[in-house]
A and B are shown apart, each in its own frame.
Chain A
């Protein structure tokens, strides 16, 4: 069953809101080495956490990317349908 769109601009806004989450999902934090931390085991622990953080933001960015496409695709599909109807009426 196709979706029904009443307000296409609201869909565009929804997609934009999801896309706005993407910059937060870029890993831009400085790496901490054993010299800075003063201990190799602490450095290992933070390195493990960082690896998980990087993997997590990468996964969440994938999810955000795809989530944002839903309203865009629906709006585009609905737009094509509208054009088709207009052409049919003409």
Chain B
């Protein structure tokens, strides 16, 4: 109870009643808006306008009209609640004033009686001392009776005051109940929301407008839709009108931008909005730090406190994402299909439209990859896309430069373990599952490089993930539990690997993939005979430049995904259903350095 016991009638009744009137007037204004929208629907009759856009307009305007009518009703209910509250407070105030007057009168009476009694008592004592006759004793006794009555009166008034406090509490409770009820809050009233705790439940029980309201007023609850089955999300999202989708995007771009099952063009819109918000946030943090001093290294962002170091890392990551989103000349349009709030952020950029492409390839990078390397990874993805367009010009293709996991850092021991890969596999699995739910008609492929093959292969063992083709290049190895191509949920499995060479070996080749396999928890080589993948050449020189390095891109154009490499053409053929056209892998002879080593070792024995 928060009633002030000294002032139970507290509150500005005139202001409360004015607020009530404001709401009723707002309800009337909203009804006029409702009538105007109905007039729009009536005016757009089939006699003056026909077609699909008209149908969409009428559907959307009709939904808007329903929302406006409901809003007016709820505003009226809110006005009624405030009016009842104002009148209740006024009644308490009136009663309080009357009680205060009566209490003041009773207190004055009591004081007067007590004064008279004290006088009578003195007279009585004096008369007794002088042995003089006096009626002061009788008067004192009579006054004592009056005083007792006056004290009873005051006790009664105090009791009434306590009742008044309880009455005010009841007035408050009645108002709170009314304001929390369905008539005021509609579907978002606590009584209606009770038990709705899952994302699927939210989608099923709330209108798009209610969800947009929830996103702004209870983001933690709204965020639960992130875990919803992508198929359900897709069914829901495709049934929304453009305005409803826009309202949800603006209400919660971070959630919608990464919600599996949502159309990718809408995710792009949401993520670009969230990108701008994040960029403003980190710039504000850094500007504040510059103006007010770094101090402890932590300054307030408008949403959360982030350290200056984190802000800088996020800023650089966001700038890299922005660069990765810039399409090259005559390049495919780019879409930001996922973005997190990490420092640096995780992100995925699609080259080509995932909503319309018939053939889609997720490209998963290896160790050292992050948002900072996304522009380079997107450039490699563009090479893949162009090669695919050449290999299969009949279909529309898209390639996703996916940096959706925290990759192990270069040079660290983490690359020899599988923790990063397993965490990344969960993210990749969710992304692939989301794509399959959103675009069941499209072919889906995964291309992975180095430690990305470790990550992607784990993702491809999940029961709800299935792809048409998995291509591994320069693999850092797969886990022992994935020792057969058939362990992967992929119709076709391809693997390419350049000559294994030591870093000190002057001969061209892949310096790191073998190291990753040899000394790690992921030793399985996907180009090994027993694995069962279809291997392809990357350094035979047939059909393209030979790969001479572990990287996907080198200055000399001899990385796995550099333009016109044998590797790139084979990746393109493998991921466009032309696996029969890949060039054969060659048996690698030992390099002179390796021969010398072998000879040296043999001589030693």
Contacts and interface: CB of A to CB of B under 8 A. Distances in A.
Contacts of A35: 12
Contacts of A89: none
B50 A3 contact: yes
Nearest to B57: A70
Contacts of B61: 18, 67
Nearest to A47: B179
Which secondary structure dominates chain A's binding surface? helix
B37 A41 contact: no
Contacts of A10: 43-45, 48-49
Contact of A38 (B11, B179, B215, B243): B11
Interface in A54-71: 54-60, 62-67, 70-71
A64 B75 CA distance: 19
A81 interface: no
A80 to B, nearest CB: 15
Contact of A60 (B67, B172, B215): B67
A62 B179 contact: no
A20 B9 CA distance: 42
Residue among A21, A25, A57 having the largest count of chain B Cβ atoms under 10 Å: A21
Contacts of A66: 60, 242-243, 246
B247 A3 contact: no
B243 A62 contact: yes
Given A29-B23, A37-B11, A60 B64 contact: yes
Residues of A in contact with B, size category: 35 or more
Contacts of A11: 44, 48-49
B422 interface: no
Contact of B64 (A39, A40, A64, A73): A64
B49 A60 contact: no
B243 A21 contact: no
Contacts of A6: 47-49
Contact of A74 (B37, B49, B85, B172): B49
B87 interface: no
Contacts of B57: 14, 67, 70-71
A86 interface: no
Interface string A1-42: 111111100110111111011111100011010011111111
Nearest to B8: A38
B60 A56 contact: no
B213 A42 contact: no
Interface in B293-323: none
A13 B43 contact: yes
B220 interface: no
A35 B12 CA distance: 8
A14 B51 contact: no
A71 B33 contact: no
A67 B188 CA distance: 25
Contact of B33 (A7, A24, A49, A52): A24
B244 interface: yes
Interface stretch (B24-32, B343-351, B568-576): B24-32
Most buried by A among B29, B44, B68, B180: B44
Contact of B67 (A18, A53, A63): A63
B19 interface: yes
Contacts of A56: 67, 71, 209, 212-213
Nearest to B216: A55
A48 interface: yes
B190 to A, nearest CB: 10
A51 interface: yes
A1 B52 contact: yes
B478 to A, nearest CB: 47
B56 A70 contact: yes
A23 B25 CA distance: 13
A74 B54 contact: yes
A45 interface: yes
A23 B37 CA distance: 13
A2 B44 CA distance: 16
A63 B247 contact: yes
Contacts of B75: 53
B36 A20 contact: yes
A5 B30 CA distance: 30
Contacts of B246: 62-63, 65-66
A36 B12 contact: yes
B175 A59 contact: no
B172 A39 contact: yes
A62 B269 CA distance: 15
A83 to B, nearest CB: 19
A61 to B, nearest CB: 9
Given A21-B33, A21-B36, A38-B9, 20 more contacts: A3-B50, A3-B54, A10-B45, A14-B40, A20-B36, A21-B64, A24-B26, A24-B32, A24-B68, A36-B12, A36-B15, A36-B19, A39-B11, A48-B217, A53-B78, A55-B215, A58-B250, A63-B63, A63-B244, A70-B54
20 contacts: A4-B49, A5-B48, A7-B48, A14-B44, A21-B64, A23-B29, A24-B30, A24-B68, A25-B33, A29-B22, A35-B12, A42-B175, A42-B179, A45-B175, A45-B180, A49-B184, A63-B243, A63-B247, A64-B64, A71-B49
Interface of A: 1-7, 10-11, 13-18, 20-25, 29-30, 32, 35-42, 45-46, 48-49, 51-60, 62-67, 70-71, 73-74
Instruction: Please list the 4 inter-chain residue pairs (A to B) with the smallest Cβ-Cβ separation, ordered nearest first.
Output: A38-B11, A3-B51, A63-B243, A17-B40
